[in-house]
Structure 1
Amino acid sequence: MDIIGIIMAAGKASVDVALYTLIPVMVVMLIIMKYLEARGILDRIVALLSPLLKPFGITGLGIFALIQLNFVSFAAPLAALAIMEKRGTSDRHLAATLAMLFAMGQGNVFYPLIPFGLQWGAAIGISVAGGLAASAVTWYLSGRRLSVRSLLPETMPVEDKSSSGAIAIINGAGSDAIRLSLGSVPMLILSLTIVGILKEAGAIDLLTRLISPLLAAVSISDVYVLPALTKCLAGGTAYFGVASDLLQRGLLTPQQINASAGFMVQTLDLPGIGIYLGIASRFVRLFRFALPGALIGIALRSVLHALLF
């Protein structure tokens, strides 16, 4: 096994994904989001939606996190979650928000997949539906015994209006986009290296042979094995790296990308769990209450994508 060759190939693929896919998409989307935020449009959207989403256990900052996850990246809601923790948002609200975020798809995977045929509008709509289902299950069932008492009133994060000019927005959003995109490269290299080693060792082929009869029984192609394994071990960015390679080689079709997006594009993977639970110890304690709702939300999204595509 050529370990160095595998590492070099993983490095090249990771840098290509970061430079030519993630950075352009993230720059444009973050500029749009920063502009809407600086002009107060996001605040008005949150104020409009708050009464509608209150029955799902989602607060103002929770709505902000929903928008950031679906339209920017999996890392974007971290600031909102940190503010919720700092301001003493109740355990029940926090668990519902956590379940929602784990069940939804992330913008840093949705947008790069659009050139490969992802139906973005349907994917976003189903993502939000799955997230709200997850939060509702957590709010009314798995987390119903959690406290609803908040330590302080929530407020939206305040933007510095003195630095909200067009040039400042573009420069700030561009810097954030580059930082987020390049920040994913080390994890992407490591994960693709692990996947490459498993593939060269025959582990993935063995796993594919073992579960192929089960997949065939439910009419699921075994082409999903490698992307699914990559997604669970290494997260959404690594999944995109593998999926884009399979698409370019004709081993994966746009229809299969759309049909599987409900299961493949979500944040309930090892990196996502580690990043979100690392914000504060309270998130670790609440994870077991959020997990059932997140799983139901992902299941709902998976079924809707399979039925539609």
Structure 2
Amino acid sequence: MDILTDIILRAGRSAVELALFVLLPVMVVMLSLMRLLEAKGVLDRLVHVVAPVVKPAGLTGLGVFAALQINFVSFAAPVATLTMMETRGASDRHLAATLAMVMAMAQANTSFPMIAMGLDFGTTLAFSIIGGLIAAAVTYHGFARTLSSQEGPVDETLHHRVAEDAKGVLDVINRAGAEAFKIAIGAIPMLVLALVAVQALRTSGAIGLLTHFLAPALTAVAIDPALILPTLTKYVGGGTAMMGVMDEMLKNGSATIGMLNRSAGFLIHPLDVPGVAVLISAGRRVAGVWKPAALGAAVGIVVRAAGHVLLS
């Protein structure tokens, strides 16, 4: 019982420190910047310029906005945009392409805090965009080609707050701060549970046993066996849980910054159990296209993973 109590207390301390001293400050700054650009109309103009370029990949103006949200806000931010697309008449085929893109891209709530751990954000963002566009294209033209392309009267107007004076700017910043605080506090339970599970598996010897059996096969294909733990954590507990595990591994020396950057392509994205569950909550039709979207996203993630390995 003393061992379990010690594991829980150490995991809780690590989770709170990571959420409040790493995740919260980064998300406050980035969300404030994102919301200010949104309020000033900069993102509207960017979407207007980029939308025609990405149209061949099966993306619309709202799809571009979803890409900005996943890369610069959090993995849950595109849910509102996907809901908007569904209710505003976007076709099932366009919904699948947009969902695939979102699931293949790097989630800001994980990538930004991990910059402090040594993550190369420029490379991560570049391959996030490349992987997301490939995921959308192969979904729209391949996995989702049998879905309906019929669209209703689509309204792609982006409704958001404006910041025309000092009071408006302050209001946007305050709301962004509150949003960042909600994200950080909401991450604590998953972080605690993930770190407790990891410490328990380590203490029991389960991780060591699994690593022993898989190490020869992984080494044969040039994969570091140390990635077993963060990979299991990521796909079961989500990106935030993986971030907590990776932080612990970097601190105790069982992981390196090089390994972090080489693995970023297949570890930082919302194609995991919690991520998919949140994203398909956007609406009935969004949930109905998750299978072809997941297949397309997997292609995009493979491209991202290969890119990180080659450049890191």
What is the letter of the counterpart of residue 100 of structure 2? A
1:267-298 superposed Cα distances (whole Å, 9 cap, x missing partner): 11111011112222322321111121111100
In 1, Cα distance between the equivalents of 2:76 and 2:70? 7
- Distance in 2, Cα, partners of 1:117 & 1:74: 21
Residue 191 of structure 1: CA displacement?
2.4
5+ residue gaps, structure 2, are: none
1:56-135 matches, cutoff 5 A: 56-135=57-136
SS in 1 for 2:116: helix
Q: Which digits, 9 at most, give the CA deviation of each residue in 1:243-286, with x for residues without a partner?
A: 11111222211111111100111111111011112222322321
Deviation at 1:89, TM superposition (A): 1.4
Equivalent in the alignment of 2:25:
24
Distance 1:134 1:13, change over 3 A: same
Deviates more, 1:172-181 or 1:153-162: 153-162
Q: Extract structure 1 runs of 4+ deviating beyond 4 A.
A: none
Superposed CA offset, 1:119-174 (max 9, x none): 11111010110011001110001101111112231323312337872211211110
Give 1:10's aligned amino acid. A
Give 2:258's aligned residue. 255
Contact 1:99-1:131 within 8 A present in 2 as well: yes
Instruction: Supply the distance in 2 between the matched residues of 1:201 and 1:273 (Cα, whole angstroms).
Output: 30
Contact preservation (8 Å) 2:40, 2:164 = no
User: 2:273 & 2:10 partners in 1: Cα distance?
Assistant: 23
Q: How does 1:256-275 map to 2 (within 5 A)?
A: 256-275=259-278
**Partner residue, 1:171:** 174
Aligned partners of 2:21, 2:91: CA distance in 1, in Å?
41
Tell me how far 1:198 sits from its aligned partner: 2.5
Contact 1:60 1:154 (C-alpha < 8 Å) held by counterparts: no
Identify unmatched segments of 5+ residues in structure 1. none
Cα separation, 2, equivalents of 1:4 and 1:148: 55
Taking only the aligned residue pairs, the percentage that are identical comes to 45
Letter in structure 1 aligned against 2:84: I
1:200 maps onto 2:203 in alignment: yes
Q: Deviations over 1:29-75 (max 9, x none)?
A: 00100110000000000000000000011111111010011111111
Structure 2 counterpart of 1:222:
225
2:47 maps to what in 1? 46
Superposition RMSD on alpha carbons, in Å?
A: 1.5
Work out which of the residue numbers 304, 307, 310 in structure 2 matches 1:307. Answer: 310
Cα distance in 2 for residues equivalent to 1:173 and 1:118: 24
Shift of 1:88: 2.6
Corresponding residue for residue 282 of structure 1: 285
Determine if contact 2:161/2:172 at 8 Å carries over to the other structure: no
Q: Does 1:210 align with 2:204?
A: no
Asked if the contact 1:89–1:154 (Cα under 8 Å) also holds between the matched residues in 2, the reply is: no
> C-alpha distance in 1, partners of 2:261/2:193?
27
Q: CA contact under 8 A between 1:130 and 1:300: conserved in structure 2? A: yes
- For residues 190 and 273 of structure 1, what CA distance do their matches in structure 2 show? 19
Aligned pair 1:297/2:289, yes or no?
no
**What CA distance in whole angstroms lies between the structure 1 residues aligned with 2:26 and 2:254?**
24
Aligned 8 A contact 1:31 1:173 in 2? yes
**Structure-2 separation of matches of 1:304 and 1:112:** 21
Match for residue 36 of structure 2? Answer: 35
* Alpha carbons 2:79, 2:281 under 8 Å: kept: no
CA distance in 2, matches of 1:291, 1:179: 28
**Match for 2:241: what amino acid?**
A
TM-score (norm 1): 0.96
Shift of 1:183: 1.0
Contact 2:44 2:158 in 1 (8 A): no
Report the TM-score when normalising by structure 2.
Answer: 0.95
